[in-house]
A and B are shown apart, each in its own frame.
Chain A
Amino acid sequence: MADSNTKELYILAEFESAAALYHAAEKMRDAGCRHFDCHSPFPIHGMDAAMGLERSPLGWIAGLCATFGALGGVALQWYASTIAYPLVISGKPFFSFQAYLPVTFALGVLMAAGASLFGMLGLNRLPQFHHPLFNSERFKRVTDDGFFISAIAVNNAEGDKLQKFLESIGGSNIEVLKD
């Protein structure tokens, strides 16, 4: 068992089926446990609600970046066509906002798309080269027919409590993993 000054522990418990995993997630949620994750070979409908996950802030990140991109697009074109290169093009004013809209729109979309991708990776903490869960032999079955819950404990006492709780809600083959 780990010393109290090592990193967090991962308690891994296996469940029989997708339904068992779903109900176990509900019990974890109702017990007030927040730092846990469910692992299954396929997406399980309604799992977000069963786990009590909050809505991802990704939308706000994408929205803010899109606004920034759009404003940046206007600023870029305003600077280019009124200060850097004030050229008369087909008799239009230097600051012709109509002509700026396609680029403004495109930059807004580009920034939103980029923020969605990289924001998602950031929030997921991906890419990761290794994860303590990979130390478990059983866990390899998660891509085939295994259903698991992994919960994070900061010290041994909490780890023991989690083990007992996972056992009580139907978890089997419980393992304690660390880096």
Chain B
Amino acid sequence: MMRYDEGTYRITEPGSFGTRSLIVGIAGLAVSAIGYFLNPAQFFHSYLNAFIFWFNIAMGSLFFVMLHHLVAARWSVTLRRLAENVMMQTPLMLLFFLPLLLGLHDLFHWTHHEAVEADLILQKKAPYLNITFFVVRAAVFFGVWNAVSVLLFKASLKQDLNPEEAITKRMRVISAFGIIAYAFTFSFASFDWLMSLDAHWYSTIFGVYIFSGSLVAIISFLVIVLFFMRRQGILRNMTTTEHFHDLGKLLFAFTVFWAYIAFSQYFLIWYANIPEETIWFRNRWVGSWKGVSLLLVMGHFVLPFFILITRSAKRKAVFLTVMAFWMLFMRWVDLYWVIMPGLQEQGFNLSWFDLTAFIGIGGIFVWSLLKRIAAHPLIPVKDPQLKASVEFISE
């Protein structure tokens, strides 16, 4: 049981959930490590799937915080520290990225010299798709994300002591530059880590596609974290149904945004009907992959669209939390659908490592997040808009 002090908004008793998460996480990673020796190709694909899932939550949070500052949002001030804590998991994601470097040969066809020599297209792409440049890019991406996250977080902590207008402005300036850097780095990271799994295939909207999914992921994640914190009696005096309502609206909006982008990608490829582009969708329409494709259309868009469109669905915290879990599951399915068909061409074949890698990274992610939550006040205590955020009414 977690406890917190309503005066200082600090966690006084962290409870045992974090430790239990850590144990589950280590166990998950240990079992996954066996996979590295048994079936490295499967292991690395499962690991990449889990890594991108949790990475997207951290990245979505970075975007959420920057957007909050840029539009000078008021309603989300009480949720800002929560999002900032998730955002600060980016350095952890760098740690989880490193094992992928061991598996480049298992994941990426373009890393094989003999394959490139026999393939004119890969030769032409070699100036971009080569291991050195790949690693340099990843270093730059993480450098940018970490720098922006740390700058924003430090400014936010400074504001806790000193509610100066200048700090609010500073966070806005960081976000203005940060969001531009984010757009490029996130898009290219998606190209590098996911699109280049099928090195012949290309889609310029692909980065936006993954980005739209990461927005669904972070809003779902915030709903779940907020729900369970409130159940423990934490932040009850600082958050209301109105905050769930607004998170619900964003969840609905980003779900539609995801569908819009997903359809835009599909639609242009379908219309042009050029084999080098359509092959990607064709690979996702063979065997049991067809079922996964249809599940995505129904489960990631049609179903949540009609459920979340009503007002009451967004205002019932329990119901919204169930939907948030469902959307997170769909996020995982979406990434599975992007990553796995390259490995399992005839149809999907779930592996134990899909689960162990997921709970492995996830367990440590949650433990690290809870540690950070406990280290600082749960809300930006001196933000000038805090009162407006608590009293906010979602019209």
**Contact residues, A82-113 vs B (CB, 8 A):** 90-91, 98-99, 101-102
Task: Give the interface residue-count category, chain A.
Answer: 10 to 19
B222 to chain A, nearest CB (A): 25
Contact B271 A99 (CB under 8 A): yes
Closest chain A residue to B395 by CB distance? Answer: A48
Q: How far is the CA of A63 from the CA of B305 in the complex (A)?
A: 13
- Cα A154 to Cα B266 in complex, Å, equals 61
- B349 at the A interface (CB under 8 A): no
Interface of A is mostly: helix
Instruction: Note all chain A residues with C-beta closer than 8 A to B270.
Output: 98
Contact B273 A101 (CB under 8 A): no
28-64 of chain A: CB within 8 A of chain B: 45-46, 55, 59, 63
Partner among A45, A63, A90, A101 whose Cβ is within 8 Å of the Cβ of B263: A101
Interface residues of B in 238-276 (CB under 8 A from A): 263, 266-267, 270-271, 273
Chain B interface SS verdict (over half)? helix
Quick check: B393 and A45 within 8 Å, CB to CB? yes
Least CB separation from A89: chain B residue = B271
Q: Which residue of A lies closest to B266 (CB)?
A: A98
User: In the complex, A99 Cα to B273 Cα: how many Å?
Assistant: 13
Q: Within 8 Å CB of A46, what residues of B? A: 393
Q: Which B residues are in CB contact (< 8 Å) with A99?
A: 271
Task: Write out the residue numbers on chain A whose beta carbons fall within 8 Å of the beta carbon of B266.
Answer: 98
- B 284-317 binary contact with A (CB < 8 Å = 1; else 0): 0000000000000000000000000101000000
Partner of A101, one of B267, B309, B311, B393: B267
B interface, CB within 8 angstroms of A: 263, 266-267, 270-271, 273, 309, 311, 393
What are the 3 tightest A-B residue pairs by CB atom distance, in nearest-first order? A98-B270, A98-B267, A90-B273
Can you list 16 residue pairs at the A/B interface with Cβ under 8 Å?
A45-B393, A46-B393, A55-B311, A59-B311, A63-B309, A90-B271, A90-B273, A91-B273, A98-B266, A98-B267, A98-B270, A98-B271, A99-B271, A101-B263, A101-B267, A102-B267
Additional 14 contacts, C-beta under 8 A, given A91-B273, A98-B267:
A45-B393, A46-B393, A55-B311, A59-B311, A63-B309, A90-B271, A90-B273, A98-B266, A98-B270, A98-B271, A99-B271, A101-B263, A101-B267, A102-B267
